[in-house]
Amino acid sequence: MRKNIGWQDKHEGVKYEIRVLFDGGDRIRWRRIAKHLERWEPFDPAPEHWEILVEKVRARYVRRQAPYKDLQLVERLAAQACSSRQESVDRSP
C-alpha cells in the first residue's frame, strides 16, 4: 500500500496542508485543507506543487520508501501538467 505525501503551503496569507493520494493505477488526487475549513477540498496544483511532489517522491525513492514506478508516474504527470499549462498560456491573447 502506498503512503500519502503531504506538506504545508501558504497561499494568499492562508496556511494549507496539502496531501497527495495515490489512487492506484496512474491516478493521484490532490487535496488541501485550511484551519478554517472543515473538510478536505480538491484543487488543481500549480507547477510549484508538482515540483515539490517530484522532490518528495524522489527523496522517498532514494530512501527505499517508494517504488521506482511511483517516481516515474509523478515525473510523467508533472511533465504533462506543466506542458498543458504552458499550451494554455501560449493560446491566450
Worst-scoring range by mean pLDDT, 24-28, 34-38, 46-50, 83-87?
83-87
Taking the C-alpha atoms of residue 1 and residue 15, their distance in angstroms, rounded to an integer, is 29
Residue where the block lists cell 499550451: 87
Closest to 20 measured CA to CA, from 61, 59, 54: 54
Per-residue confidence at 73, pLDDT binned at 50, 70, 90?
A: very high
- The residues, any chain, with a CB within 8 Å of residue 9's CB and separated by 6 or more, are 15, 16, 17, 18, 32, 49
Say whether pLDDT at 89 is over 70.
no
Which pLDDT score is estimated for 79?
94
| Mean predicted confidence (pLDDT) in 64-85 | 90
Rg (CA), the chain: 14
Spans of all domains in the chain: 5-91
